[in-house]
Amino acid sequence: MNPVTADAFQLGDLADATKYHSPIEIAGRSPDQLQRWLRKLIEIRCAEEKIGEEFGKAVIKCPCHLVIGQEAPAVGIAEHIRQGDRVFGAHRSHAHFLSLGGTMDQLMAEVLGKETGCSNGMGGSMHLLDRANNFFGSVPIVGATIPIATGAGLAAKMEGAGGIAVSYLGDGATEEGVFHESLNFASVMKLPVIYVVENNLFSSHLHISLRQPFDSICRFALAHGVQWQRVDGNDIVAMADVASDAIQAARQGAGPQLIEAVTYRWRGHVGHREDNDVGVMRKEGLVEWKKRDPIRRLVDAMIASRHITKTMADSIWTEARDAVASSWERADLAPYPAPSALLDRVFFKEENA
Amino acid sequence: MTSYGHALREGFAYLLRNYPETFTIGQGLWSPWYVGNSMTDLDKEFGKGRVIDTPVSELATTGVAVGAALSGRRPIVIHPRVDFALLAVDQVVNQAAKWCHMFGGKVAVPVVVRAIINRGGEQGAQHSQALHSWFAHVPGLRVVMPSTPADARDLLIAASLGNDPVVFIDDRWLYELEAELPPVNPSLRLTNVRPRVDRIGTDITLAGCSHSAQLCRQAAEVLEKLGVSAEVVDLRLINPFDASPVIDSVRKTGRLLAVDGDWSTCGMAAEVIASVVESLPPGAFRSSPCRLTLPDAPAPTSKPLEKAYYFNAADITSKVLEIVSRL
């Protein structure tokens, strides 16, 4: 268990937008793994840019919460997920879905409400599902999947096969009572649940300093007897390392774990705009935060270490944009759910599964 | 003979014995008094790992059950008072009820949320509510209101073995009601359950669920001695609500009294009347359909006020006599 220290209360330097701009530390890492992470981060970034663009044109109407700027936590966690694990997202979950193996085709079709989407066009951006790849669902009621993931942890414990559950949440969700109920429950029952708090300092338009007396979520883990780690959420290598530690501990019966990934979103709470004009305490931070770009810091490190060249990096971007564009074209041509879906899917039927 | 309370316990024991994926979770399950005689010593028989007592966290506990149900388990959450289940409404209404539909029909949520109506006993406004019509309002929830020992056991089993979220509400005032129980039918599912005509009659239809259905049956016996032939329909499953047995009954009797141990406004009695009125021509009615419900006030604690608040079988009898004597 972590010692009781004031460190659990304050983010310190990690909250300082002028810091952590340098290339990340990649010494000793496998070039293949780094390149795989880079491709995934860029794929997510390109998907979000496309969705933002179409949202801006009102081609996509459903609320879309873009993850641009905070792609790394999902990719770091996904690295250590295996068959039998169950991962739950929230309102900002495109990266969670894609990082676990959800396809671009299914994401683009879903945000357009098409039958070929991951939720058969019944969910839109805020309700993503891909059980074959361990993604058990995302919903936008803040905090709702925290106890649900905790229940998946209880099921995993009952199964006794070393499976774990992951609950993705934001700093705002820690203001919901159910977050505390769930951590307490998981701690008392010693459940294999990883609570991944993507602390991007904002809930909707409000900075954390206007919502909480301290800016670090780790203090709640401390209070509930949950092991915690804090990490630069814009450093994919560090992120994957803490994910490995936490997930391995949970698999081995050490009980629930909380990871606080400190990051920042570049767009507004919802939609494609950067929201400089409506966010409280936002404009001054965004310019600096963009210098902590998780992709650029990885690219710079890989070029400096001669893992890739600038040309190779450029071609990864081009390939990703092309893939997104062709997925978009297929989604655009796909059919909407049949009118019968409205009533046919209220209750579960084997033939719909 | 088996009492309603013991029949519930038999239902739980049947599930825990035969289906390893079932478990129960809620406050007070290791205590002898939270849930009457309906779960006595289940923890000793099946272990504390499957009969789980919890911290005072209704919302998280219900969410945990929803998450376990999404992960292949068949949990039954216990809320010893309906009133406290309201702390868990997000998980019931926003989550359990919606996941199948909003995930393309691909997700089964086999969770039962069992809550107990603890009316009377001077327990007051926050220990007595029924609120079944709230839950019945929500598409995606199956809402079960058993009125007999056999239904208490069998609908609990059917609820847990189905694939959808179920709100199962039982009433402490029924716990001593006794009946012979037939063997369990393991293939019964809620998709096959509909309102049941408990008593044949010709002069008026009495329709209600749970404790109200029992009062209707008692009133019908008294009415028979007074020369009034009442048909009784026990609604049993109020969402999705199949009104056709009530409609068929009123087509024959021409009169309807909807009885509901809950408030009137937007309540189950209103739903019963609306369903019948929509389906029959005006000429089918010998008198206007009526309802008997609780007064629109929170439950009182004071003895005389409580007596005025709850109706009984004699109140149903009087109401029926008033209806059949109208021209």
pLDDT of residue B33: 82
pLDDT in tens, B236-292: 999 999 999 999 999 999 999 999 999 999 999 999 999 999 999 999 999 999 999
Q: How confident is the model at residue B47 (pLDDT cuts 50, 70, 90)?
A: very high
Please list, residue by residue across A17-52, b when 16 or more beta carbons sit within 10 angstroms of its beta carbon and e when fewer do.
beebbebbebeebeeeebbebbebbbbbbbbbbbbb
Do the Cβ atoms of B63 and A150 come within 8 Å?
Answer: yes
The answer to whether residue A341 is domain-embedded is no
Fold match, B2-192 / B196-324: yes
The answer to whether residue A353 is domain-embedded is no
Looking at the domain covering B2-192, what would its CATH class be?
alpha beta
Closest CB to A151 among B49, B65, B100: B65
Mean pLDDT along residues B79-83: 97
The answer to whether residue A344 is domain-embedded is no
pLDDT in tens, B187-202: 999 999 999 999 999 9
**Distance in Å, alpha carbon of B80 to nearest chain A alpha carbon:** 19
pLDDT in tens, A177-228: 999 999 999 999 999 999 999 999 999 989 999 999 999 999 999 999 999 9
pLDDT in tens, B295-321: 999 999 999 999 999 999 999 999 999
- What is the complex's ipTM, to 2 decimals? 0.97
The answer to whether residue A292 is domain-embedded is yes
The answer to whether residue A35 is domain-embedded is yes
Domain count, chain A: 1
Closest CB to A151 among B55, B71, B103: B71
The answer to whether residue A1 is domain-embedded is no
Contact list, B75 vs chain A (CB under 8 Å): 151
Identify the CATH assignment for B196-324 out of 3.30.1330.10, 3.40.630.30, 3.40.50.920, 3.40.980.10: 3.40.50.920
CB pairs under 8 A between A and B: 154
pLDDT of residue B327: 58
Do the Cβ atoms of A151 and B63 come within 8 Å?
Answer: yes
pLDDT in tens, A228-280: 999 999 999 999 999 999 999 999 999 999 999 999 999 989 998 887 666 66
Domain with A141 in it: what CATH number? 3.40.50.970
pLDDT of residue A114: 98
Residue type, B158: A
Residue A121 has pLDDT above 70, yes or no: yes
Coil, strand, or helix at residue A135? strand
Beta strands in A28-124 (DSSP E): 86-89
Q: How confident is the model at residue A115 (pLDDT cuts 50, 70, 90)?
A: very high
Q: How confident is the model at residue A11 (pLDDT cuts 50, 70, 90)?
A: very high
Contact list, B100 vs chain A (CB under 8 Å): 345-348
Closest CB to A152 among B55, B67, B94: B67
Query: Tell me, what DSSP letter sits at residue A192?
Result: -
Domain that holds residue A86: 6-330
Domain boundaries, chain B: 2-192, 196-324
pLDDT in tens, A334-352: 999 999 999 999 999 999 9
The answer to whether residue A151 is domain-embedded is yes
Q: Which residues 76-115 in chain A show a CB within 8 A of chain B?
A: 86, 88
The answer to whether residue A295 is domain-embedded is yes
Contact B67, A148 (CB under 8 A): yes
Do the Cβ atoms of B107 and A154 come within 8 Å?
Answer: no
Q: What is the mean pLDDT of chain B?
A: 97
Do the Cβ atoms of B49 and A121 come within 8 Å?
Answer: no
Tell whether B68 is within 8 A of chain A (Cβ): yes
